[in-house]
Amino acid sequence: MFQDNPLLVKLKKKLHSKMPRIEGIIKSSERGFGFLEIDFQKSYFIPPKNMKKVMHGDRIRAILKTEQNREIIEPEKLIDPFLKTFVGKIHKTSNQLFILPDFPLINNLIKCTNKSDLSHNFKHGDWAIAKLTKHKLEGHQFFFAELIDFIVTEKNHLYPWLVTLSANNLKKESPILLNHEEIIFDDSISRHDLTNLDFITIDSLETKDIDDAIFIEQNHYFFTVYVAIADPSSYISQNSRLDNIAKERGFTNYLPGFTIPMLPNELSEDICSLLPNVRRPVVVCRFNVLLDGRILDDSIVFFMGWIQSKSKLVYDNVSNWLDKKIGWEPELKSIRNQIILLHKLYQIRFFWRKNNALIFRDRPEYKFYFSKDNLISNIIIEPRRIAHRMIEEAMIAANVCAAKFLSKHLGYGIYNIHKGFADIINAEHAVALLSKFKINFTVKDIMTLDGFCKMHRELNILSNSYLDARIRKFQSFGEINIYPDCHYSLGFEKYATWTSPIRKYSDIINHRLLKSIILKQPSIKIHHDVLININDKKRKYRIVKRSVEDWLYILYFNQKNKKINQYDAEIIDIYKSGIRARLLENGANVFIPATFLHFLKEELFLDKENGLVYIKNDIAYKLTDIIQVNLIDIKKSTRNIIAKPKSCSTLELNN
């Protein structure tokens, strides 16, 4: 009787309307409850019954209530769903289809059906793209999705790559050349014939898309360096179908065991590739390097040319020969001479950069090996050997030349920019940290290119990995811009890449600009949306590579039954909830929950800001420490590897 009383209903509505409303983002937990995050510091508890109405990541408006002296959240209105178009795995029971979204904290099996024009017969374990069409918080009884595309079956061993690429809306296949009439070589350009010179290329054994070749001469005063770069822009006209494909893709996408080229294979691996003993059109940069390593700016010349590479050399062979290991040797005296000259050039340029620009310590690189049926078989450290460094040094020098040439003649191009400490607050934090280690710089010092370089050269001498890692956290990220500016992390006033036009659309743009100067033709304009796409694709490819690697590590450890093995690991980040570390043997990232660091929560403090872990007020762990860990859980659903330290020891900050 009372529940039907109009006055009581009206009173309830009035009280309900006066309850405080707040807006935030849902954060789920593995135990059913969740939180509504208002900002980085404030959040409210959501009990399991209320979590059934929402999903992790949803932005909602909610009512703030108090139950049993505790503030809780009751979801009221959906503002922006986290799930829109997503990838997931099909679960099939009887004739009913469900899809489980591929997100770590979303465990909702969502009812689904095929889109009207999608005829694929989905099976249990298939991967699909779906679109969320019904949400419980919008008044529906259940969540519902529409399957809009099939990705791959569970039995196809390529699913880690194909699912990850689909999730990021990236291409999964090579571009197709419709017919050879799409490739029209511009033979109207006058080119210098350099086919008599002993150009060489050095790449990995399996490399087919060869885009750089080098020839060097030396006299008593300087080296004369010719860097010849493949010329795809002479085969691909601006705004053609192939050009638009390359523009949209932005880069060749290199993933472990799986490469998606920017250009059709016919171009990247044959027509444009600087294959040995084949005449190829190129853009050439010639410059002189003094014996102390300085590039003579007045000597920098760009021109069009023809070359014929005399040998396709392999990094490991060249490195072994220079290291005097028995085995491969150059076939010809002329090739031997080019390797020796390139090695000399590397030594003087490396020495010059070390003292006048910046040289950073190499980070370990890891190579993934696969069986014929695409199963992960091994992961090992691949050291960057002397031949890699020689080619890298020559390409860096050529890119510095291009940046100077474009700036002098045009004032714009595609430049790689790094602003160091772009934020004055971060610079202040860096200066304060440096002072604790008796390294004295002012904010004004380190916000200049010269001061930034001097600071890092001192850090390199000190060789304190903890301090180096902490300083890097204050630095800005690199970016690409149209106008020249400093590249602090390389130590150059300007830097523009042009040496990989087969693999990078930004380098094709710079080729067209260089050619407009060489041929005295009107230069092209760079549209802002092209710049946005290049930056976006660069970020996406980095994310996808890391995601695929995470998946492959899970499959690798499951196959090899590595859970009982002990590993050395480097601490790469510290959070309130635990430690992130990297296994030195194979590069896998592992997470060590705080509960595994010390058994008494009140005696444990994880200081994210300073990269330190305290136990009983003593420093137990710090950023970059090498610790021994055991793997205790391989979570395939979230692609997380959980580890536990072998022991806990107190370490001094200044070690």
Residue ranges per domain, the chain? 18-80, 85-155, 189-408, 424-476, 562-645
| Residue-wise pLDDT tens digits, 388-425 | 999 999 999 999 999 999 999 999 999 999 999 988 99
Specify the CATH number of the domain 18-80: 2.40.50.140
Catalytic residues: 203, 209, 211-212, 315, 503
CA distance 105 to 101: 9
Token pair recorded at residue 89: 């795995």
| Residue-wise pLDDT tens digits, 225-280 | 999 999 999 999 999 999 999 999 999 999 999 999 999 999 999 999 999 999 99
In terms of Cβ atoms closer than 10 Å to its own Cβ (0-12, 13-18, 19+), residue 465 is: middle
In terms of Cβ atoms closer than 10 Å to its own Cβ (0-12, 13-18, 19+), residue 367 is: middle
CA distance 200 to 339: 9
Q: Residues 363, 462: contact at Cβ < 8 Å?
A: no
Domain made up of 562-645: CATH architecture: Beta Barrel (2.40)
Instruction: Using pLDDT thresholds of 50, 70 and 90, give the confidence band for residue 17.
Output: low
Specify the CATH number of the domain 85-155: 2.40.50.640
Measuring CA to CA, which residue among 241, 232, 93 is closest to residue 511? 232
Q: How many CB atoms lie within 10 A of CB 139?
A: 8
CA torsion angle 209 214 215 218 (round to 10): -170
294: CB partners within 8 A, 6+ apart: 352
| Residue-wise pLDDT tens digits, 114-171 | 988 888 999 999 999 999 999 999 999 999 999 999 999 989 999 999 999 999 999 9
Instruction: Using pLDDT thresholds of 50, 70 and 90, give the confidence band for residue 186.
Output: confident
| Residue-wise pLDDT tens digits, 285-332 | 999 999 999 999 999 999 999 999 999 999 999 999 999 999 899 999
- Tell me whether the CATH fold assigned to 85-155 matches the one assigned to 562-645: yes
DSSP β-ladder status, 21-28 and 59-67: antiparallel
Q: Which residues in 241-279 are b (16+ Cβ under 10 Å) and which e?
A: ebbebbbebbbbbebbbbebbbbbbbbbbebbbbbeeee
pTM over 0.75: yes
Q: How far apart are the first and last CA of the chain?
A: 76
Token pair recorded at residue 25: 């983002």
Measuring CA to CA, which residue among 135, 137, 144 is closest to residue 74? 137
Chain CA centroid to CA 380, Å: 20
